[in-house]
């Protein structure tokens, strides 16, 4: 994949957007872990904790990119990413992160918590990168300052404009569909049948968003009924 081509730039933008959409957990974990520290130390914790977490993600994503070259694992990764795209829409995030009493304890808390929660990001970025290590690293490097200084703002934007989450879920579902149709063991079915390929891609994207929307509407109705019964 050459630099500055449409394919490279579109993949890079996709990776950055995936990092942004899935950065909410980073902001929450950072805030919870560092909330009891002095303000000067909080800034250091944010930078060191995020740098450590991003470092682990780079290594993990490169490892996953390598794994996805094994037969059938691209298909498995795509199916997992469909579930992640759906979960992004319907799952209420609960975080149980205790405030750390020292700077290094806070850094460690952020790194460990992010590593345990970052699986969705790793799979999504690996799929969008299509085996290009440079894309993985470049996308994450560009995302670091955005995640550190902009993730809290991004959370507020999501709260104000929920459609951002649906758009992000659609991108994840599209990435998942591309992983499935690009699976080397299945690609011969789609090489000369673009209609079949894009029908499957569209069905996966529309299906994830539609099912997520239905589940969310059902949840809202149940919440409204519970409030009405009190």
Q: Which among 209, 215, 129, 218 has a CA at the least distance from the CA of 175?
A: 129
Position 93 pLDDT exceeds 60: no
- The CA-atom distances, in angstroms, between 175 and each of 89, 124, 202 are 16, 7, 11
Domain ranges of the chain: 6-229
Position 165 pLDDT exceeds 90: no
**What's the pLDDT tens digit per position in 16-27?**
777 777 665 566
Rounded CA separation 72/189 (Å): 15
Rounded CA separation 211/170 (Å): 12
Between 29-38, 161-170, 173-182, 183-192, the lowest mean confidence (pLDDT) is in 29-38
**What's the pLDDT tens digit per position in 124-152?**
878 888 777 788 777 777 766 666 665 55
Tell me, what's the pLDDT at 54? Answer: 75
Locate 118 and state its tokens. 């970052």
* CA atoms within 13 Å, Cβ hemisphere of 33: 29
**What's the pLDDT tens digit per position in 38-69?**
777 777 777 777 777 777 777 887 788 787 77
pLDDT band of 115, cuts 50, 70, 90: low
- The mean pLDDT of 158-187, rounded to a whole number, is 86
pLDDT band of 102, cuts 50, 70, 90: confident
215, with CB counted inside 10 A (0-12, 13-18, 19+), is: middle
- The mean pLDDT of 178-192, rounded to a whole number, is 89
Q: CA-based Rg of the chain, rounded to a whole angstrom?
A: 19
């Amino acid at each position: 994949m050459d630099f500055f081509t449409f394919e490279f730039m579109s993949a890079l933008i996709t990776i950055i957007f995936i990092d942004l959409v899935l950065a909410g957990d980073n902001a929450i974990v950072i805030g919870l872990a560092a909330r009891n520290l002095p303000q000067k130390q909080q800034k250091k914790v944010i930078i060191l904790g995020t740098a450590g977490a991003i470092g682990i993600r780079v290594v993990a994503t490169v490892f996953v990119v390598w794994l996805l070259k094994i037969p059938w694992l691209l298909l498995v990764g795509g199916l997992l990413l469909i579930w992640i795209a759906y979960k992004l829409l319907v799952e209420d995030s609960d975080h149980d992160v205790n405030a750390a009493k020292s700077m290094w304890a806070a850094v460690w808390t952020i790194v460990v918590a992010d590593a345990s929660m970052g699986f969705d990001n790793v799979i999504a970025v690996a799929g969008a990168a299509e085996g290009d290590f440079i894309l993985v690293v470049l996308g994450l490097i560009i995302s670091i300052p955005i995640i550190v200084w902009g993730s809290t703002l991004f959370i507020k934007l999501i709260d104000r404009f929920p459609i951002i989450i649906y758009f992000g879920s659609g991108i994840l579902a599209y990435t998942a569909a591309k992983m499935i149709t690009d699976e080397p063991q299945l690609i011969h079915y789609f090489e000369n049948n673009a209609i079949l390929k894009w029908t499957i891609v569209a069905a996966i994207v529309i299906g994830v968003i539609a099912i997520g929307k239905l589940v969310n509407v059902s949840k809202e109705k149940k919440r409204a009924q519970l409030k009405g019964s009190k």
